[in-house]
Structure 1
Amino acid sequence: MNRVPAVKSPYVLLVRLTVAFAVAALLVFSLMGAYLYRSLAHELERRDDVEISGKLAQFRQLLTDAGSFEAVRRDQSVFREVLLSHPGVYLAILGERRELLAHHGSKTVVEFQTLLRQGSLPGVPYSCKSGAIGDARCVSASQKLRSGEVAQVLLSRSALDRQSLLQSYRIDILLAVAIGSLLVGALGYLITRRGLVPVKSIGRQASRIEAHNLSDRLDIDGGPVELQEIASSVNRMLDRLERAFVRLSQFSSDLAHDMRTPLATLLSASQITLSRTRTIDEYEALIESNIEEYEQLQRLIENMLFLARTDNAQQVLNVSEINAESELGRLASYFQGLADESNIRITVQGSALVEADTGLFRRAVSNLVSNALEHATPDSTVELRALQTPQHASVEVVNCGKVIAPEHLGKIFERFYRADASRHGSAKNTGLGLAIVKSIMQLHRGTVDVESAAGRTAFSLRFPRNTLKSSKTQPT
């Protein structure tokens, strides 16, 4: 069962980045707020501990001065006066049987005995809780009086005012986090909107480029570095499209011209022949002439179909190992009759094992040989050479004759391109032979090169080795 691919919904980059800014700000501000809240809570608790620890030392000294439990009960005002400026601090002095000797605080029902914690270190504050005062910080210590009696001093500091302050601070932090996140989101929106201006500019420039102005390019001067690579890639793509469009336009023009010539010849010859009564011999001559033009059109159409298949990777390769010396010998014998018309000799040199499609190999070499014979000087020699290397097998076709001008060397493999414009539209030359050779070599992942100097022109086909493993596969 085939799975249906999930459809991805489009999204607005500006909105996504704005939300990302806001979420990031919310996370950062929340962490900072939590840190500040915990720091304040710890600092307030430390201050409470310092307060009750300091008072504990003071009350222990007052107990030493009192001397006995009786004096403590009698002079409770001495202990209470110390805490008049410390609201929220509660004092309890307990006897040896935990009876209450003295206390201070507005909470008269505080059960001080419940605030004592077993195992607590003397003078070390700890958290405690009572139904009367709620959460608090407590500290206790024993003090021996001059009478020999031992009193227990307990101080507790209510956390009510501390918790009230922290609650107010918590609300302020939440408001600050919310407002800060919204502000950062708004700023992120403005920054992102400003930052996406070059992207929109590139989009507007690209939308204005059409077939009639493919020479226009995206202006990336002064733009962000991050977009320059994208713009450069688009410009390179436009370069390729422009070249392809120019080639296509030229190709269409050349194709129309090459087809118009034989059709015009057929039409005019037929009209002239039919303009008056002709003899049978004249009609036969017309038919023979028309057959030549039909053959020319047939060759042109077949070549065009072949190039179309190779352009769309529809040509299947049947790769095998070819004895280049033997194949070149057969081709030399085949073309020798044509070469004899110009007293041209064809020689074969060297040997090599070529991994290629046999039919396409013969077609590529035949096109080069036909081209060499067409441009070779009479009474000269066309050389067919084979050369073997560990990486490649090469086949060369060399002829003596007029050299190809340097400005034409890079263009002769283009379709319908002719270095000699006077030969355009000749009956034997469609201008596609070298283009077919190039396509065949591209199918084999090989190369075709040409050198022309000192009265000699050499075409070289280079076939890669070790391709049999990928034989009978469709090229990509």
Structure 2
Amino acid sequence: MKASFRQSLALRVTLAFVLIVAVSAAGLGVYLYRAFMTEIVRRDDLQLLGKLRQVQIVLGRPGAAELLAAQPDFFRDTMRGQENSLVRIVTADGTVLADINPAGERYPVPAAAGTAPGAGAIAGWTTRGGIPGRVVAGSARLGATPVTVVVARAYGERTAMFARYRGRILGACAVAALAAALLAALMLRRGLRPLRKVAEHAALVKPGTLAQRLDIADAPSELRPLIDAFNAMLGRLQEGYARLSGFSADLAHEFRTPVTNMIGQSQVALGQGRSREEYETLLASNIEELERLARMIESMLFLARAGQDEVVLARQPLAARDELARVADFFEGMAEERGLRLQCSGEGHFAADAGLVRRALANLVSNAVRHADAGTTVVLHAESGVGTVALSVQNKGAPIPRAHLGHLFERFYRVDSARSDGAGSTGLGLSIVSAIMNLHGGKATVISDGPETCFTLVFPANDALLSGAPGAILPGG
């Protein structure tokens, strides 16, 4: 039951609604009961004072002494509805002239409060049977003799009436709680219908139905943020699944090419006897293809790690010009082979993971050297901005069509075979650059205007980062 209560929203809301109704009904019932009881007690007290006044008037009339001696019960019956009152008339010296008390009840005799006592002079008492009563005393004259009149009454019928009233209030509270439970169940069943539709739609979600969306037009305003979030989640899932499907197809294609090459070459070599030199050539070719596969796998592992939001970089203060020069020195030999020059310029300081920065720059410079026209200069430039440092790599060569610029940082995306080196490129270099920039909270951009193509890495460069506080080192840097 406890587990069911925690898990059922409808049950919790229903019980809470029933509790609220029951408490409200009980509070209203208590208020009405107390108001009713107070009014009845006030009415009875007024009647008790009226009874006292009636006895005082009768005692003051001529012949009252003879009437008292002959018919004492007359003083009990002077007022309609007060026939069961208890009346005692006592002289100043304590002589009891009349004591109308058939049941022999013992009740307190308060001090006389004059000829016109108020409600404050009334005292309470209880009979032997536990029935509450009220008593009041006042002064009167019997002819020339001053006397004290005591009037008391037990309210058994009032106590029974109060008990019946309490029972009715309890019954009304129970009926109200039961009605509230039924109404709450019906209300929740109807009110939670949009949630059930969301659950039914979620149960039908699969790769082929990701394009379907929940209709928000008829949804309650309270559920619209949930439906918006659910539809947005479906959109992200659809996009992610499409990307994953495309990536899987690209990955299979990229892996198939070197594997097919190795299988074909090996089958040809095994078709007939070969010389030692031919086998060595085959092994060298297979090793080249395996190295390409290893680079591709290593790049995929890095991208998978970089996609984790919890990755923390080993940031340290870096001088932009020094990083550019370091990468330029590494590619100096390759550039000379292609008849190119590497030129570094600019200044700036920022905080980043040095290994990842060099890897990103190396990918950009490698692409620039491969695709630059012979005899041109590849320019590596650093420029400080407001809170940022931009590192750019610019080369002159075949322009990149505008339609391809927005896709260059996607995995396995190649503009055309002319800009792809099958032996040296895995199609993941620019994806790695983009992932590295995302890890640093920066961005990578590309501009291709005529023969000039410029890739730019924009790093944040604020004082907090330049403080040099180290974090965890990301593997694969």
Q: Shorter chain as normaliser: what TM range?
A: 0.7 to 0.9
Letter aligned with residue 292 of structure 1: E
Question: Is contact 2:447-2:453 (8 Å) kept?
Answer: yes
One of 190, 195, 218 as aligned partner of 1:194: 190
One of 225, 232, 236 as aligned partner of 2:232: 236
- SS of the residue corresponding to residue 226 of structure 1 reads coil
Structure 2 CA distance for partners of 1:262 and 1:77, relative to 1, 3 Å? closer
Q: What's the counterpart of residue 470 of structure 2?
A: 471
One of 335, 338, 349 as aligned partner of 2:334: 338
Q: Quick one: distance in 2 between partners of 1:369 and 1:211? A: 40
Question: Is contact 1:325-1:351 (8 Å) kept?
Answer: yes
Q: Within 5 Å, which residues of 2 pair with 1:188-267?
A: 188-267=184-263
Unpaired runs of 5+ residues, structure 1, are 1-6
Q: What's the counterpart of residue 123 of structure 1?
A: 118
Q: Quick one: distance in 2 between partners of 1:318 and 1:131? A: 91
Q: What's the counterpart of residue 133 of structure 2?
A: 136
Deviates more, 1:68-77 or 1:362-371: 68-77
Structure 2 CA distance for partners of 1:369 and 1:443, relative to 1, 3 Å? same
Deviation at 1:287, TM superposition (A): 3.8
Unpaired runs of 5+ residues, structure 2, are none
- SS of the residue corresponding to residue 219 of structure 1 reads coil
Q: Quick one: distance in 2 between partners of 1:388 and 1:59? A: 110
Deviation at 1:19, TM superposition (A): 2.0
Letter aligned with residue 136 of structure 1: G
Question: Is contact 1:109-1:132 (8 Å) kept?
Answer: no
Which deviations, in whole Å up to 9, do the C-alpha atoms of 1:2-25 show, x marking residues without a partner? Answer: xxxxx9985222222222222222
One of 283, 306, 311 as aligned partner of 2:302: 306
Letter aligned with residue 394 of structure 1: A
Aligned-CA RMSD value: 3.0
Deviation at 1:258, TM superposition (A): 1.0
Structure 2 CA distance for partners of 1:421 and 1:315, relative to 1, 3 Å? farther
Question: Is contact 1:83-1:89 (8 Å) kept?
Answer: no
Deviates more, 1:179-188 or 1:72-81: 72-81
Using the aligned pairs only, state the percent identity.
Answer: 36
Q: Quick one: distance in 2 between partners of 1:80 and 1:261? A: 122
Structure 2 CA distance for partners of 1:353 and 1:77, relative to 1, 3 Å? closer
- SS of the residue corresponding to residue 222 of structure 2 reads helix
TM-score (norm 2): 0.87
Letter aligned with residue 135 of structure 1: P
Q: Quick one: distance in 1 between partners of 2:184 and 2:99? A: 60
Question: Is contact 1:63-1:145 (8 Å) kept?
Answer: yes
Question: Is contact 1:69-1:95 (8 Å) kept?
Answer: no
- SS of the residue corresponding to residue 110 of structure 2 reads coil
Letter aligned with residue 472 of structure 1: G
Q: Quick one: distance in 1 between partners of 2:129 and 2:318? A: 106
Q: Quick one: distance in 2 between partners of 1:315 and 1:78? A: 103
Between Structure 1 and Structure 2, how many residues are aligned?
466
Letter aligned with residue 43 of structure 2: R
Structure 2 CA distance for partners of 1:448 and 1:118, relative to 1, 3 Å? farther
Q: Within 5 Å, which residues of 2 pair with 1:288-367?
A: 288-312=284-308, 317-367=313-363
Q: Does 1:13 align with 2:9?
A: yes
- SS of the residue corresponding to residue 414 of structure 1 reads coil
Question: Is contact 2:394-2:455 (8 Å) kept?
Answer: yes
Q: Quick one: distance in 2 between partners of 1:127 and 1:77? A: 24
Q: Does 1:48 align with 2:44?
A: yes
